[in-house]
Amino acid sequence: MTEPSAISQGTSFFSQGWTWRGKLFLAENPTRIVIAFHGFGRSMEEMGNHLPLYPSNTSMLSIGLSHHNGSLVPDHSNSFPVLEPGVFHQAIEGWLAELGFSQIPKHLLGYSLGGRIALTLFERFPLAYHGMILLAPDGFKKTMLYRFAAETALGRACWAFLDRHGEATQRLIRGLHRFKIIPTHLKRFALQHTKDHAMRQLVIQTWETHRLFWPSRTGTERAWCKLPERGVHVIAVFGSRDTIVPWAWSKPWQRMSSSHVHFLTIQSGHIMHHPDTVEELGNVIFKASNET
């Protein structure tokens, strides 16, 4: 595993009313560019911690997802404009061309929510990318809570009601845990994501804006079946102690994987950016990629 030698700088791109902020980690004489997507509520800079997973001549564009890190959505009569995957793909292509990276191989890296973004882009535009690494990735299972809150009018109304009664919502969550209706990890997750008005708005805005970014098994299978002949690998790594995105969610997808798709686990929880964890990630990814 190599040590990162890239120099970071801020960058941004505007397209069709959308503005994305980014952090460019620029290597000397780069031979590949990694497009990285962070998790919900996380920073762009954090994704740079994963540069040791790649050769030293790798640059990275870490993109701030909409509503995060200064990335702005268009003015719209609807307070939650929906981003089309094709629009995002075109913006990324234009951004890379503007930065001078249109002629070198592009790879995807997604963590948590960013994994769902990466999965969707790879399904829709597989030939655009020469590899993908997913870390604790969302996107393999759509929970009932998400379906209700983001995809139904009643769910959105209920979330708005909870937002207006934030303190009562937090008391309800603690009560459900006290009576053992929800487990401890779910209590912590729910309290974190309903802690104040700003966080509750970030949750619903992020869900709504990215609600078209859900991969399908059929489309993904078509994208994955061509991997061996292209020499391209897809690697999804889950934490064995992760209660936010558990390993079990990936099992239905594992049945359709090819020789160049690898589902792996490491000894970690949901957070995967600490140096020791990155080192373990590098070891398991290297082993899987070289066993094919």
The pLDDT value given to residue 155: 87
The pLDDT value given to residue 49: 97
d(CA 78, CA 183): 35
Largest CA distance in the chain: 59
Once rounded to an integer, what is the mean pLDDT over residues 231-260?
Answer: 92
The pLDDT value given to residue 113: 98
pTM of the predicted model as reported, rounded to 2 decimal places: 0.93
**Angle of helix 197-209 relative to helix 153-164, nearest 10 degrees?**
160
Residue 112 burial class via C-beta count within 10 angstroms: exposed 0-12, middle 13-18, buried 19 and up: buried
Residue range 38-84, pLDDT digits in tens: 999 999 999 999 999 999 999 999 999 999 999 999 986 666 799 99
Give the phi and the psi of residue 131 in degrees, each rounded to 5: 155, 160
| SS3 category, 198 | helix
d(CA 83, CA 274): 31
Output the average pLDDT for the chain: 92
Cα 174 off chain centre by:
29
The pLDDT value given to residue 292: 62
The pLDDT value given to residue 77: 61
Sequence-separated (6 or more) residues with CB below 8 Å from residue 228:
258, 259, 260
| SS3 category, 20 | strand
Give the residue among 191, 271, 190, 199 at the shortest CA–CA distance from 41. 199
Which amino acid makes up residue 55?
P
Residue 37 pairs in a beta bridge with 63, 110
Q: CA torsion sign, 265 to 270 to 271 to 273?
A: positive
The pLDDT value given to residue 3: 47
Give the phi and the psi of residue 283 in degrees, each rounded to 5: -65, -45
Express as a percent the part of the chain with pLDDT over 70. Answer: 96
The pLDDT value given to residue 5: 57
Residue range 83-112, pLDDT digits in tens: 999 999 999 999 999 999 999 999 999 999
Tokens 């790798």 sit on residue: 58
Contact yes or no for 243/185 (Cβ under 8 A)? yes
